[in-house]
Structure 1
């Protein structure tokens, strides 16, 4: 760093500010320092920085499984956002029977500065003792139960008042001991159901995600509430496990129930449903309209191209990392943010078939 400062004609403190992306450096000076760094082959030494700052510039990620498309997309988004901020990433997968407390212990042993907990794993945070003081958490798609009181629903909302990290939380406190960043799943489901009802379908069947999933529960809630507000009866739901195979297996119950419109809780299950409808001799969207959720990269290439609710994984992962890093570097604040969804209309939905067709 001293060599860089000498080459650029600045102080060591200025070099430090450039390395740490401080805004307190004018653009011309920053460019001169970065040029000197490039000429000298300078790279920050992570271990030395950890000794000096007490931080390892490493984040943890806790996830139940990486087999699902949503979780793998979130891993990519979090890894990209962490790298942009100069942080490394350590991943712990829980598996079917793993204890989230054990995952926190493993991350603490590796000296991570904070952790992000994804999707299905967030339910286990409620069941576990909170991690040791100093390990800040951001949970993605966390259930908001009565233990923590009602949470605001607007998107986005200002951070809550600062609280010490992981201090005891009395019953019905409005502030949980960790930050929450979530997709507005219920609003996404609403847009899907409203789209199908507007096409003249009398009701909308639901191919739901697995029990115990916060995202699946919120999408189911949006489906039920929208049908109720429209005065439409809610058919018995059929549940899958996020895989296309489960969507294929669930199709017979939906088709036997007379479904002309189905909202599937994710695109993989919708893909299995499309195959099953075709094999039954029916057509999508002529006989059955299908809407998915996520807008995976291949959704536009399904046959027919899938109408779906786009979940912004890049923004969701980016905001989770931003909230966590800002807490680590600027002090402990507890925040709640919601990332909106967007309905993408393609070729898998059409007006309801005429009676008797």
Structure 2
């Protein structure tokens, strides 16, 4: 004989136990005024005793709010975006908001528009976009939504709240570090051309070299993966450079492996600076000098900015500035090197 599933408590059960009307329970649940303190305590004790969980649909009917957010996330499982997403969701749960997430590898326009349409049918109050593809933000922005929109992007956009790290300044710090160590031939391994972050890091590389009267001669293009860093390392002219600024840590690891395979050494022959400071960066051989982003804080900042917009606040936030983490993959050039 099968065991019966216990009946879930309702708002009417809470009302009977607390000795109040179900409308009063609803006012307590939604933190509305005009409820006596003693009554509020009785209702809260009844909720706890019955382990009552109000349904989102019922709460929305009372408050006219869904307390839900839509989240578009595109790209592969890179450490930075994944960490930002996790902490965005954690902050949302802590603030008692639900998140509907649409994950997709690419940025196919019809798929993105379909996801946004599904969010709107679910009555979301705002949408966040986490992507390395500029085209994804362009598509969402082009839909002219009437609800708040926040995007993970360091460059400002009209009509969209953007949150992120200052990729440009971080890149300039990486190149400045290498130049201060005496390097004059500093190559760059860039990220995908559709990535705003990759574009900003490449721009920072060029501008810092230009400010120091140095030429931006050697540039490669990767896809954020270690294999693309490895390919660049197998193909680049190691006799023409002494340092490489790499657009992320994973490509840096592939590059170090390729340089070692070719009988050269990091940093004795080539100094490497990465970007992101993923957990593995401190434990590769040699430990990687890199630019650290606070992905956890970015996730929380995105949620805060979106909720502020939902609540009618016009909040602006300056991009955080990544910091240089110096390890053993860079060295100062000696006279004559």
Match status 1:216 vs 2:198: yes
Deviation at 1:54, TM superposition (A): 2.7
- The 3-state SS of whatever aligns with 1:262 is strand
Contact 2:141 2:160 in 1 (8 A): no
Larger mean CA deviation between 44-53 and 231-240 belongs to: 44-53
Flag the 1:308–1:32 CA change in 2: closer, same or farther, 3 A: farther
Contact 1:63 1:121 in 2 (8 A): no
| One of 311, 328, 331 as aligned partner of 2:293 | 311
Say what the alpha-carbon RMSD is for the aligned residues. Answer: 3.2
Matched residues in 2 for 1:30 and 1:112: separation?
A: 29
Matched residues in 2 for 1:97 and 1:326: separation?
A: 27
Larger radius of gyration: 2
Partner of 2:147: 135
Matched residues in 1 for 2:304 and 2:187: separation?
A: 38
| One of 116, 123, 129 as aligned partner of 2:128 | 116
Partner of 2:246: 264
| One of 275, 278, 281 as aligned partner of 2:257 | 275
Moved segments of 4+, more than 6 Å? 4-7, 29-36
1:133-166 alpha-carbon deviations (Å, 9 max, x no partner)? 443210111655xxx6xxxxxxxxxxxxxxxxxx
> Scaled by the length of structure 1, what TM-score is found?
0.78
Matched residues in 2 for 1:200 and 1:5: separation?
A: 78
Match status 1:69 vs 2:79: yes
Structure 2 gaps, min length 5: 1-10
Contact 2:71 2:101 in 1 (8 A): yes
Matched residues in 2 for 1:68 and 1:257: separation?
A: 32
Deviation at 1:281, TM superposition (A): 1.3
Query: What are the within-5 Å matches in structure 2 for residues 293-304 of structure 1?
Result: 293-304=275-286
Deviation at 1:338, TM superposition (A): 1.1
Match status 1:93 vs 2:74: no
Larger mean CA deviation between 127-136 and 190-199 belongs to: 127-136
| One of 305, 311, 333 as aligned partner of 2:314 | 333
> Scaled by the length of structure 2, what TM-score is found?
0.83
Contact 2:30 2:59 in 1 (8 A): no
Contact 2:271 2:331 in 1 (8 A): yes
Flag the 1:36–1:187 CA change in 2: closer, same or farther, 3 A: farther
- The 3-state SS of whatever aligns with 2:218 is coil
Deviation at 1:226, TM superposition (A): 0.7
Count of equivalent residues = 319
Query: What are the within-5 Å matches in structure 2 for residues 34-45 of structure 1?
Result: 37-45=47-55
Contact 1:108 1:135 in 2 (8 A): no
- The 3-state SS of whatever aligns with 1:256 is coil
Structure 1 gaps, min length 5: 149-175
Flag the 1:34–1:230 CA change in 2: closer, same or farther, 3 A: farther
Flag the 1:280–1:55 CA change in 2: closer, same or farther, 3 A: same
Partner of 1:173: none
Flag the 1:338–1:35 CA change in 2: closer, same or farther, 3 A: farther
Partner of 1:46: 56
- The 3-state SS of whatever aligns with 2:164 is strand
Contact 2:150 2:162 in 1 (8 A): yes
Flag the 1:33–1:293 CA change in 2: closer, same or farther, 3 A: farther
Flag the 1:133–1:225 CA change in 2: closer, same or farther, 3 A: closer
| One of 162, 185, 191 as aligned partner of 2:167 | 185
Contact 2:167 2:197 in 1 (8 A): yes
Matched residues in 2 for 1:342 and 1:33: separation?
A: 50
Partner of 1:59: 69
- The 3-state SS of whatever aligns with 2:149 is strand
Larger mean CA deviation between 106-115 and 31-40 belongs to: 31-40
Larger mean CA deviation between 211-220 and 124-133 belongs to: 124-133
Partner of 1:196: 178
